[in-house]
Structure 1
Amino acid sequence: MLIVLLTSFMARPKHEVAEIIHRFRADLEKQYELPVQVKKTLTVLGNCRTLAMGGHVSVCTDCGSESISYNSCRNRHCPKCQTVNKERWILARESELLPVPYYHMVFTLPHCFNELLPKHATEIYNGLLKASWQTIQSFAADCKFLGAKAGMVSILHTWGQQLWLHPHVHCIVPGGGLTKSGKWKAAKYKDKYLFPKRAMSLVFRAKFMELLRQKMEVPQTIAKTAFKQNWVVYAKRPFASPKTVVEYLGRYTHKVAISNHRLQTVDSKQVSFSYKDYRDSSQNKVMKVSGVEFLRRFVQHILPHGFVRIRHYGFLASKNKSKELNRAKTDLNEPKWEKQKYSLEQICEERLGIKANQCPSCHSQTWRVIRTLEPERGPPARVKPNLKRWEKMKW
C-alpha cells in the first residue's frame, strides 16, 4: 500500500536500468554466455513494479482518488528497491552505537585478481571480507595498539564509478574494544588514525593470499603481480559523532552498481551515464557506451546466490551482541541493546516523513486497498510423454 506513497515521495529518474535490460538483454545473451543466477536477476529487475509482479488497487474513501501499485522485486541488485531496506538497517544500527570515536577504512583488491572473478567470485569476495577483519583484529589484539577484541561492520562493493570491476570493502570500526575481563578499553589515538595504514596494507596482503590459497590454486603470474604491488588500505580520521557514522554508512550499505538517477540518455544503440572522476579532482563527467557494453559491465556486479555482502564481526557479530555489546554499553553507561523489528509503516513515518494510509492527493488518512492484482504467469510448458520409456517400465 505504501509503494504509491514512496514513489510519489521520491523524484522519478529519466531512465531506468529495467529499460536498458528490456532493450539490450537479447543482444547481450547472443554475445556472452550468462550464468543462470545472472539471467534470473535480469528477469526480476526487468519485471520490478510491473504487472508481471502483481500488485493492488488502492482508493481514497474521502476524495475518490484511485491508483494502481505494482509489487517490487526486492532484489538487492535493483536500483528501485533499496530505500526501505536501507532505512530499516540504519534504525537497527542506531541502537548499537557506542559513545566512542568511529573510524572508516577501505580495503581494496588489486585489479590483477579481476580475471579470476568470473569463476571464483565467492572465494575472492569471501577472502577479501575475512582478510580485512583478520587484519583489524590482529592489530587490535596487539597491546602496542589496543590490546582488546575489536568490532567491525563491513560492506562489500565491487564497482567503480564507470562500472568496471573494483572490489573493495568499506569498514566502520569503533575506537576501542573489550578486554579479556569484559571491560571496555578505548583506542590510544583518539584524534588520529586507529592503526598505521602502511603496516595494515602489508598484513592485509598476507592474510588475503593465505586465505585465497586455502580455497583455490592462484596462478603464479597473478601471485607475482600481487606481491609486487602496494595494496591500498584507506583510513580516515574519526567521525564527528557516533550518529553521523550510521548515516554515513547508510550511503554504502544498500547501494547498487549504478542508480537510475545517474542515467542520462538511453536510445536504440547507446547509454550515457554520469560519473565522478576521482583522478580529476572528483569532477562530474558523462560516459557514453553501447547498450550491450553497459549491461555487460552491470552484470559483473551481480553477486553469487546467497552471498552475504554486509557482515558484522567481533563484539558486533550477531551471536556476540547480546553479551559482548551489552558489556561495552554497561561499561560506558549506555542503555542495554535489544533486538527490535521495524515495520514498513514505522520506517516511512520515522525516516521518510510519510504517514501510512495517507492519500497522496487530499492527504487524509483514508487510503485503502480494494483489490489485489495477481502476478502474470505463463502457462506451464507442455511436455510430450516418452511412450517408449513408459512401455519399458516394469511394474
Structure 2
Amino acid sequence: MILLCKPKGRQSQGQTMSLHPHLHCIVPGGGLTKYQKWKTAKSKGKYLFPVKAMSKVFRAKYVKALKSRIQPEKELINQLFQKEWVVYAKRPFGHPKAVLEYLGRYTHKVAISNHRILDIGPTQTRFSYKDYRQGAQKLEMSLENLEFIRRFSMHILPKGLVRIRHFGILGSSAKQISIALIHRELGIPIPEKEPRILESHNPRYCPCCQKESMVSIQRLPKRGPPKAVFSI
C-alpha cells in the first residue's frame, strides 16, 4: 500500500503548509509465493528489510536511475556513494487498529484545522503552528491572505490523483483471492460482515427544536451545483 501525502501534521515542516510532497508506504512482513503459499520475512516477520541494508540498496538504485537519465561526472557519483544515505522506517505496527490510526492521521485531515486559524483580517490571516525543531513549541504566523490561500491550495489533490493506492496482495484485482489465501495459510478465520442496520430518518425533523419544523427549499440535482441560489 502506498499513501500519497501532502504536508500535514509533523510532516509539514512546522505546520506552516509549505510544500513537502512525500510518500508513506506500508509493507507487510511477508507475502505469497508463486505457489500461493505464505512466506514470512526473516526475523520472524517483525520487519521486511533491515533499515541499514535498505539505505544502501536505495542509494544504489537511485544512482543507477540517475545515470540512466543523465551523464553525471564520476566525481559526483563518488561523492554520492561516500555519503551515508538515510531511509526512514517506522517501527512495525503492533495491531490492525494502529494501522488504521496511522492512515486516518493523513487521509482524513485538511491542510489546517479550524482551531488553528486565530484571526482572518482584511489583508492577513494569523494561525498557530508547532515548531518541532524547537521541541514542539507553539508559535503564531501571519500570512498575506493570497499567500495563505496559495499554500492551502497546494494541498488540494489534482483531478484524477488517487490519494491511496494498493499494490500486490491488496491490489483491487487480486485482494479477494489473496486475502482468503492468507487467512487460510495463517489459520485465521475470515470475519463475517455485520449486516447494516438502516435507521429511519424523518427529513422534516429539526435536531435543534426537536420538532417537525423543517421546510423544503429546493431539491438539488444528483450531480453538479444547484441551478439557482436562494437567500433566506
* Root-mean-square deviation (Å): 4.0
User: What TM-score, normalized to structure 2?
Assistant: 0.70
Partner secondary structure for residue 20 of structure 2: strand
> Residues of 2 paired with 1:337 and 1:261: CA distance?
39
Q: Could you say if the C-alpha distance between residues 376 and 286 of structure 1 is closer, same or farther in structure 2, counting changes exceeding 3 Å?
A: farther
> Residues of 1 paired with 2:90 and 2:40: CA distance?
18
Higher relative contact order (CA 8 A, sep 6+): 1
Q: Does 1:285 align with 2:132?
A: no
Once the two structures are superposed, what CA deviation does each residue of 1:337-394 show, in whole Å capped at 9, x if it has no partner? 89x8x98x96xx8xxxxx9557423668x7977442552559xxxxxxxxxxxxxxxx
Once the two structures are superposed, what CA deviation does each residue of 1:307-364 show, in whole Å capped at 9, x if it has no partner? 12211111011111011121101222334489x8x98x96xx8xxxxx9557423668
Q: Which residue of 1 aligns with 2:223?
A: none
Q: Does 1:157 align with 2:5?
A: yes
Q: Which residue of 2 aligns with 1:187?
A: 41
Partner secondary structure for residue 166 of structure 1: coil
Shift in Å at residue 241 of structure 1?
1.8
Q: Which residue of 1 aligns with 2:218?
A: 372
2:156 to 285, 302, 316: 302
**Does the 8 Å CA contact 1:175/1:187 hold for their aligned counterparts?**
yes
Aligned residues: 212
1:313 to 148, 154, 167: 167
Shift in Å at residue 178 of structure 1?
1.4
Farther off after superposition, 294-303 or 225-234:
225-234
For 2:18, give the aligned amino acid.
Answer: W
> Residues of 2 paired with 1:212 and 1:219: CA distance?
8
2:94 to 232, 240, 246: 240
**Does the 8 Å CA contact 1:325/1:337 hold for their aligned counterparts?**
no
Once the two structures are superposed, what CA deviation does each residue of 1:266-292 show, in whole Å capped at 9, x if it has no partner? 101111222221212223322211112
Q: Could you say if the C-alpha distance between residues 199 and 212 of structure 1 is closer, same or farther in structure 2, counting changes exceeding 3 Å?
A: same
Partner secondary structure for residue 288 of structure 1: strand
Partner secondary structure for residue 327 of structure 1: helix
Matches within 5 A, 1:55-94: none
For 1:361, give the aligned amino acid.
Answer: C
Matches within 5 A, 1:1-395: 153-159=1-7, 160=12, 161-189=15-43, 193-204=47-58, 207=61, 227=80, 232-336=86-190, 357=202, 359-361=206-208, 370-374=216-220, 375-376=226-227
> Residues of 2 paired with 1:292 and 1:218: CA distance?
38
Q: Which residue of 2 aligns with 1:106?
A: none
Structure 2, unaligned stretches of length 5 or more?
A: 221-225
> Residues of 2 paired with 1:182 and 1:288: CA distance?
57
> Residues of 1 paired with 2:43 and 2:97: CA distance?
20
Structure 1, unaligned stretches of length 5 or more?
A: 1-152, 350-354, 379-395
Q: Greater strand percent: which structure?
A: 1
Q: Greater helix percent: which structure?
A: 1
Percent same amino acid among aligned pairs?
Answer: 49
